[in-house]
Structure 1
Amino acid sequence: MTCGHWDSVVAITLLAKMGESPIENGQNGRKVEFINFFEEIMNITQKTPHLLITPNIPKRKGTDFTQEEMASLFQQLTEHLREVFWIASTDWQEIIYISPGYVEIWGRSCDSLYARPLDWLDSVVDADREQVIAAMSAISSGDTSDIAFPEYRIHRPDGSERWIKAHTFTLCDVTGNIRWIAGVAEDITERKQAETGQRESNDFVKALADHIPALLGHWTPELRYTFASKEYTKLLGRSEAEMQGIRIQDLVGDELFRIREPYIRSALRGEPQSFEGTLPKPDGNVLHVLAQYIPHKVDGQVQGVFGLVTDITSIKHDQEQLRVSDAALKAVSQGVVIRGADQFILSANDAFASITGYSTTEIIGRDYCLLVGPLTDPHQAERIRMSFEYGTEFSGDILHYRKDGSAFWNELTISPVHDEQGQLTHFVGITRDITKRKHAEESLRIAAVAFESQEGMMVTDANSVILQVNRALTEITGYMAEEIIGQTPRLFKSGRHNTAFYAAMWDSIKRTGGWHGEIWDRRKNGEIYPKWLAITAVKSEDGAVTHYVGAHTDISTRKAEEDVIKNMAFYDPLTQLPNRHLLNDRLSQAMAASKRSACYGALMLLDLDNFKPLNDTHGHIAGDQLLIKAAERLNKCVREMDTVARFGGDEFIVMLNGLGTDKAESTSQAGIIAEKIRAALSEPYLLTIRHNEKADATVEHHCSASVGVTLFFNYEASYSEILKKADMAMYQAKKAGRNLIRFHDSNI
């Protein structure tokens, strides 16, 4: 199969004066005979010369071919190329020659390309076209260096896609001027598919590595990195790109490599290795790991080594915790006993033996009932039995007996323990001898009559465990006495006081023996309320604190009355907005803040238009509704840090804080908020009109606002001066037609 325009090829050979005049190849500037032009093509296509020889090519010495023979030679050469060989004008607007491979690879006729030289460019995939055009432009600009096209994709007419690799060079005449552009393009689709397959295979292996619980890496026999699981690279603190080709010695450091190298070398000899060790993390922490080095064999030959690292830090931690727990069990002052699910005691610590008088050897294998005596409360004993039978918790005080028969008060807590499947395995009992505390409690009962006063009273032990409360305290808190006793005062904690508050309280108690002051607590129903609390420490003869007595007075009613008075003094009773007094205080604070931050503030004075006609027509109740609704809209237009106040009548003030350090920017911000307010107040209002003899009616009222704005900074102006400027600006807004915004102009 041949393509048209073969005469053009003959013309090229004539222009070149083949066999006589040299052609300068733009690849490296050397001059070659035209016959060597074929060698250039062979070099580019990486073909061996014998592939280009056919029986029809005359065998000659030298280069004394006739023009017809050279044309035939050129034709046979290009027809036997699987690649596409082409020659074009330097501006790419004319195809001098295109080899038959174009039909095979592009799926288009050569004639179509001769007719439309840039037709092939339309088939280039959109994503690749820009870089192809850039390469063409570089060649056309006169760059005579060897230019390799980027690999690109084309769409064939049948819808299939091919990958193309092109190589381009320039042809010059004897004067060194570029006359033509030539090149070879080959179909590399199969290679690309193979690369994609290999990449997908690698991705598959990498995905598997990323999802196994252990950390997996692979190293060459030269101990250079090839791939690793995502968690492996994360642990080492390196990216995938940073890891490529890195030596394991450079990755883990000389010291750790020296320790691991014997294991790695053994694995490279085909001997799997496994050992425990440590691995430093980038953050400075250390992991305990089980490391395995597994030979990677292909056809019986070791091609590398897999490193498999399992994090056993948690296992080591659990082992250490078990050791520490065992030591702690022996060291604690409270008695600890472990009972199996089958009712027999498995172990006990030294403190339990000391409390009960039994040795640990005597206790093991016995039933917990060995502590029960003649005066043991049968109800509590039954609760303990039920706890063991049903696997529930127990907590309470019970009278128990030692080995010598003496009684002691046991503060006992029993907790069931279950395995991962939820099966009961054993019980843990915590025992504390509270006999002395019980005696102190008995002494306190003597003062029970005095204790029952109008104030809430509470008695705790030295550890703040509540021992007794009176009826007044239960009425104040809402808890029953049974719910309070055994707890600590943290039961009432409201969360309104920080750690420093309680630290100061206890510091006073320790230094002076008492504390009194106002505190906020929480009732059982969740209500937070204020109370007056006085705490007194009760000490023994040797000066040790044995109890604390607290007197609680509910002052919520008094505080509420104070709040009402404060509200009346600082808030408008109709709209609940700050009044002039509170506004004055907040403006002073805002000016002080402006001085500290160097930020501008703004004050807006606004007046509701058409307010009086509403009052005259529908009465003051309708007017009050309008004021309330306007106040609600104003609050929605400003930030939480800003203030909306009622100035009186139908006038409101809006104060903006911390606008910015630039005056122009602050003016712009204030203008935006002012416009937001103006627009919000201009929306229709639905008001309920009440009549004595007729049913209530709903009317739609339209109202607008005239807004005057002035900025303030530091203490440049007094409160009255700022207000006066805002008032003047508002007057200008009204004068200009109402429903407008005006900023204060110092020239007015």
Structure 2
Amino acid sequence: MAEGSYRLLLVEDNPADAGLVAELLEEAADPGFTLTHADRLEAALALAEARSFDVVLLDLGLPDSQGLDTARRFRGSSCCPVVILTGQEDQTLGRQAIQLGVQDFIPKADLAPAMLERVLHYAVERHRTQMRLRLLAAAFESGQAVLITDAAGTIEEVNSAFTAITGYEAEEVIGCNPNMLASGYHDAKFYRALWDQILEEGHWEGEIWNRHKSGRIFPEWESISAVRNEAGEVERFVAVFHDISEQKRLEAELERLATHDRLTGIYNRTKLYELLGQAQAAHERYGIPFSVIMFDIDHFKAINDRQGHHAGDQALCELTRRIEENLRDTDALGRWGGEEFLVLATSSDIEATARLAERLRAVVAGTPFEAVGTVTISLGVASIQPGESVTQLEERADRALYMAKGTGRNRVERADSAIATG
């Protein structure tokens, strides 16, 4: 096919009429046509299924199909734009065919190169425009919310996904400013930077929190574009967004699984090391003290052996609840490993931390556990020393813990101030 030509399927059983159309098309130089001929409807349908055509010129009086039924059958089997060939007396039939979805009709008596070329050309362009509009309509009604404003920021159009995500019907927001969705989560500086980027670069994309009609605040991933006219002036703004609440929930859950103990829900060892590192940095920079309490359940193996691992797990969970209820908001509790736990007491020296440890010991021993009865814990306390690493602090607390276990259990021992060397 020559560059710039249209692929035309001519469906005409009269050889003279088919020859006339071919001759007329040869005279139509712009854009040019590549002609394929069929003299039966069934043959034309087979060709349209096997090959791609830009336009179809269809006679309604064929040996295997007559009248409007011909147009119906072709339109039902092919999405090609169709132009009907009619007799002079059948123009009413042509208009009825347009109602069935064909693009246009041409009386055979009026055939001329310029008119034939013009009608076929317009049929192709109208069909392409219709396809683009259908595609845009489908995109507009996709799962992404779409909001269109004028240059002043007044909402002109929203789609059904906007209603599903925000709770607002179109008639409730058209004529309003999108700031009616503002959550209060972002400050003026955020919005200034957002609009500066849109006006300078034509586009902004990022996470933003808006307010649902119900009052619920939710996160969106939003893209806002400026639409300019030929003079470069902003005519409209188009925002496309979707609710990322579930994504944020999954991210938070993954973060929780990465930093929390699966059984008890408290911090895991990895997170404790992170918090200890932060406490050490604050100590080195500002001299803020911190201490740790390392403890474990006395004779925990016997509990598991005697009453089963399920009862042991219940005891661990109840222990963490009791400990958490007696800590400050600034303290952190984590599972160090097995039945061993660690409390990070921020802004706390050895004296205050030892008193806290004694209170924790008494709380645990004072009331029998529901699953296993009386439980006691042994605790080792250590405070950070100048020049000491987190590992050295941990080692001193661990030695103090085992001193408590070795001298009778159910007791608190303070670590000496000597920094561990090995």
Among 614, 617, 633, the residue aligned to 2:303: 614
Among 235, 241, 244, the residue aligned to 1:546: 235
Which consecutive unaligned segments of at least 5 residues does structure 1 have?
Answer: 1-443, 660-665, 688-698
Deviation at 1:449, TM superposition (A): 5.1
Which residue is equivalent to 2:378?
A: 706
Higher relative contact order (Cα pairs below 8 Å, separated by 6+ residues): 2
Which consecutive unaligned segments of at least 5 residues does structure 2 have?
Answer: 1-132
1:671 aligns with 2:354: yes
**Take 2:216 and 2:179, find their aligned partners in 1: how far apart are those partners?**
15
Which residue is equivalent to 2:222?
A: 533
Question: Which amino acid in structure 2 is aligned with residue 717 of structure 1?
Answer: E
Q: Is the CA contact (8 Å cut-off) linking 1:626 and 1:685 kept in structure 2? A: no
Among 386, 397, 409, the residue aligned to 1:726: 397
Q: 1:503 to 1:632 in 2, by over 3 A?
A: farther
Which residue is equivalent to 2:98?
A: none
| RMSD (Å), alpha carbons | 2.5
Q: TM-score, normalised by structure 2?
A: 0.63
1:624 aligns with 2:296: no
**Take 1:705 and 1:669, find their aligned partners in 2: how far apart are those partners?**
19
Among 182, 185, 192, the residue aligned to 1:496: 185
Deviation at 1:725, TM superposition (A): 0.9
Which residue is equivalent to 1:479?
A: 168
**Take 1:685 and 1:470, find their aligned partners in 2: how far apart are those partners?**
61
Among 153, 165, 178, the residue aligned to 1:464: 153
**Take 1:526 and 1:738, find their aligned partners in 2: how far apart are those partners?**
54
Q: 1:711 to 1:503 in 2, by over 3 A?
A: same
Among 505, 522, 532, the residue aligned to 2:194: 505
Q: 1:499 to 1:676 in 2, by over 3 A?
A: farther
Aligned residue for 2:323, secondary structure, equals helix
Among 204, 209, 224, the residue aligned to 1:520: 209
**Take 2:303 and 2:135, find their aligned partners in 1: how far apart are those partners?**
73
Q: Is the CA contact (8 Å cut-off) linking 1:516 and 1:532 kept in structure 2? A: yes
Question: Which amino acid in structure 2 is aligned with residue 721 of structure 1?
Answer: Q
Who wins on radius of gyration, i.e. which is larger? 1
Question: Which amino acid in structure 1 is aligned with residue 379 of structure 2?
Answer: V
Aligned residue for 2:186, secondary structure, equals coil
Deviation at 1:474, TM superposition (A): 1.6
**Take 1:548 and 1:445, find their aligned partners in 2: how far apart are those partners?**
21
**Take 1:446 and 1:488, find their aligned partners in 2: how far apart are those partners?**
28
**Take 1:615 and 1:700, find their aligned partners in 2: how far apart are those partners?**
10
**Take 1:506 and 1:718, find their aligned partners in 2: how far apart are those partners?**
48
Deviation at 1:495, TM superposition (A): 3.2
Q: 1:585 to 1:700 in 2, by over 3 A?
A: closer
Q: 1:475 to 1:726 in 2, by over 3 A?
A: same
Superposed CA offset, 1:270-319 (max 9, x none): xxxxxxxxxxxxxxxxxxxxxxxxxxxxxxxxxxxxxxxxxxxxxxxxxx
Q: 1:728 to 1:457 in 2, by over 3 A?
A: same
Number of positions where the alignment pairs a residue of Structure 1 with one of Structure 2: 287
Superposed CA offset, 1:202-259 (max 9, x none): xxxxxxxxxxxxxxxxxxxxxxxxxxxxxxxxxxxxxxxxxxxxxxxxxxxxxxxxxx
Aligned residue for 1:589, secondary structure, equals helix
Deviation at 1:738, TM superposition (A): 1.1
Deviation at 1:448, TM superposition (A): 4.9
Question: Which amino acid in structure 2 is aligned with residue 466 of structure 1?
Answer: I
Which residue is equivalent to 1:735?
A: 406
**Take 1:530 and 1:732, find their aligned partners in 2: how far apart are those partners?**
52
Q: TM-score, normalised by structure 1?
A: 0.36
Which residue is equivalent to 1:260?
A: none
Q: Percent identity?
A: 39
Deviation at 1:563, TM superposition (A): 2.4
Deviation at 1:602, TM superposition (A): 0.3
Q: Is the CA contact (8 Å cut-off) linking 2:380 and 2:398 kept in structure 1? A: yes
Deviation at 1:494, TM superposition (A): 3.0
**Take 1:616 and 1:478, find their aligned partners in 2: how far apart are those partners?**
56
**Take 1:469 and 1:685, find their aligned partners in 2: how far apart are those partners?**
62
Which residue is equivalent to 1:70?
A: none
Q: Map of 1:143-222 to 2, 5 A cutoff?
A: none
Q: 1:570 to 1:542 in 2, by over 3 A?
A: same
**Take 2:320 and 2:219, find their aligned partners in 1: how far apart are those partners?**
31
Q: Is the CA contact (8 Å cut-off) linking 1:600 and 1:657 kept in structure 2? A: yes
Q: Is the CA contact (8 Å cut-off) linking 1:594 and 1:713 kept in structure 2? A: no
Which residue is equivalent to 2:367?
A: 684
Which residue is equivalent to 1:640?
A: 329
Q: 1:482 to 1:573 in 2, by over 3 A?
A: farther
**Take 2:407 and 2:239, find their aligned partners in 1: how far apart are those partners?**
68
Q: 1:630 to 1:492 in 2, by over 3 A?
A: farther
**Take 2:326 and 2:234, find their aligned partners in 1: how far apart are those partners?**
58
Q: Is the CA contact (8 Å cut-off) linking 2:311 and 2:372 kept in structure 1? A: no
**Take 2:308 and 2:214, find their aligned partners in 1: how far apart are those partners?**
44
Q: 1:445 to 1:460 in 2, by over 3 A?
A: farther
Deviation at 1:570, TM superposition (A): 1.2
Question: Which amino acid in structure 2 is aligned with residue 547 of structure 1?
Answer: R
Q: Is the CA contact (8 Å cut-off) linking 1:518 and 1:530 kept in structure 2? A: yes
Which residue is equivalent to 2:72?
A: none
Q: Is the CA contact (8 Å cut-off) linking 1:594 and 1:658 kept in structure 2? A: no
Deviation at 1:711, TM superposition (A): 0.7
Superposed CA offset, 1:394-421 (max 9, x none): xxxxxxxxxxxxxxxxxxxxxxxxxxxx
Say which structure is richer in strand: 1
Superposed CA offset, 1:102-147 (max 9, x none): xxxxxxxxxxxxxxxxxxxxxxxxxxxxxxxxxxxxxxxxxxxxxx
Superposed CA offset, 1:635-662 (max 9, x none): 2222222211111211110001123xxx
Q: 1:593 to 1:613 in 2, by over 3 A?
A: same
Aligned residue for 2:325, secondary structure, equals helix
**Take 2:287 and 2:187, find their aligned partners in 1: how far apart are those partners?**
32
Which residue is equivalent to 2:24?
A: none
Q: Map of 1:53-64 to 2, 5 A cutoff?
A: none
**Take 2:238 and 2:385, find their aligned partners in 1: how far apart are those partners?**
54
Q: Is the CA contact (8 Å cut-off) linking 1:601 and 1:713 kept in structure 2? A: no
Aligned residue for 1:507, secondary structure, equals helix
Among 242, 253, 256, the residue aligned to 1:564: 253
Q: Map of 1:133-152 to 2, 5 A cutoff?
A: none
Question: Which amino acid in structure 2 is aligned with residue 671 of structure 1?
Answer: A
Deviation at 1:577, TM superposition (A): 0.9
**Take 2:155 and 2:368, find their aligned partners in 1: how far apart are those partners?**
58
Aligned residue for 2:347, secondary structure, equals strand
**Take 1:684 and 1:729, find their aligned partners in 2: how far apart are those partners?**
25
Aligned residue for 1:701, secondary structure, equals coil
**Take 2:157 and 2:210, find their aligned partners in 1: how far apart are those partners?**
18
Question: Which amino acid in structure 2 is aligned with residue 710 of structure 1?
Answer: A
Which residue is equivalent to 1:234?
A: none
Q: Map of 1:39-78 to 2, 5 A cutoff?
A: none
Question: Which amino acid in structure 1 is aligned with residue 162 of structure 2?
Answer: L
Which residue is equivalent to 1:125?
A: none
Q: Map of 1:44-443 to 2, 5 A cutoff?
A: none
1:576 aligns with 2:256: no
Say which structure is richer in helix: 2
**Take 2:307 and 2:346, find their aligned partners in 1: how far apart are those partners?**
38
Question: Which amino acid in structure 1 is aligned with residue 393 of structure 2?
Answer: I
**Take 2:250 and 2:146, find their aligned partners in 1: how far apart are those partners?**
25
Superposed CA offset, 1:139-193 (max 9, x none): xxxxxxxxxxxxxxxxxxxxxxxxxxxxxxxxxxxxxxxxxxxxxxxxxxxxxxx
